[in-house]
């Protein structure tokens, strides 16, 4: 199970890190974030996803992470309120996170 989490974290991290410069370069010239700010947000997103992967009761496949100017928005669906709260707590503990918007929904039918 740990190998699976490591592989997921690696895939997530690689896609964010390798995709960040390309996405920043392809962005509209009216963008509000500089390339440096975008890269910083990509790093925060990667760290949050890795922290979620490291939590035994959370799945990075169930929780999406988006960062904009250090504000992290969590979306997705988990089985319990405790999991939603834990996702927010783990996110707040990541260096660089200024604020957490926890939009994770709870649906007990998704319990695994």
Domains, the chain, with CATH or none = 2-110 (3.30.1340.30)
Please check the confidence at residue 30 and state whether its pLDDT lies above 50.
no
pLDDT tens digits, one per residue of 69-89 = 999 999 999 999 999 999 999
How far apart are alpha carbons 68 and 112 in whole angstroms?
31
What's the Cα-to-Cα distance from 8 to each of 18, 60, 66, 80, 108, rounded to whole Å? 15, 8, 17, 22, 24
Least confident of 30-34, 37-41, 46-50, 107-111: 30-34
What's the Cα-to-Cα distance from 21 to each of 26, 29, 48, 96, 103, rounded to whole Å? 8, 14, 19, 19, 27
pTM score of the predicted model: 0.69
- Give the number of other CB atoms < 10 A from CB of residue 109: 6
DSSP annotation of 1 reads -
What 3-state DSSP class applies to 103? strand
């Amino acid at each position: 199970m740990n190998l699976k989490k490591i592989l997921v974290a690696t895939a997530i991290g690689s896609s964010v890190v390798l995709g960040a410069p390309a996405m920043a370069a392809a962005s509209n010239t009216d963008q509000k974030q500089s390339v440096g700010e975008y890269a910083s947000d990509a790093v925060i997103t990667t760290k949050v996803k890795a922290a979620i992967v490291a939590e035994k009761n959370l799945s990075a496949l169930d929780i999406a992470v988006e960062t904009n100017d250090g504000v992290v928005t969590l979306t997705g669906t988990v089985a319990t309120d405790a999991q939603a709260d834990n996702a927010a707590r783990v996110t707040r503990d990541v260096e660089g996170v200024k604020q957490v918007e926890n939009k994770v929904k709870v649906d007990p039918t998704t319990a695994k």
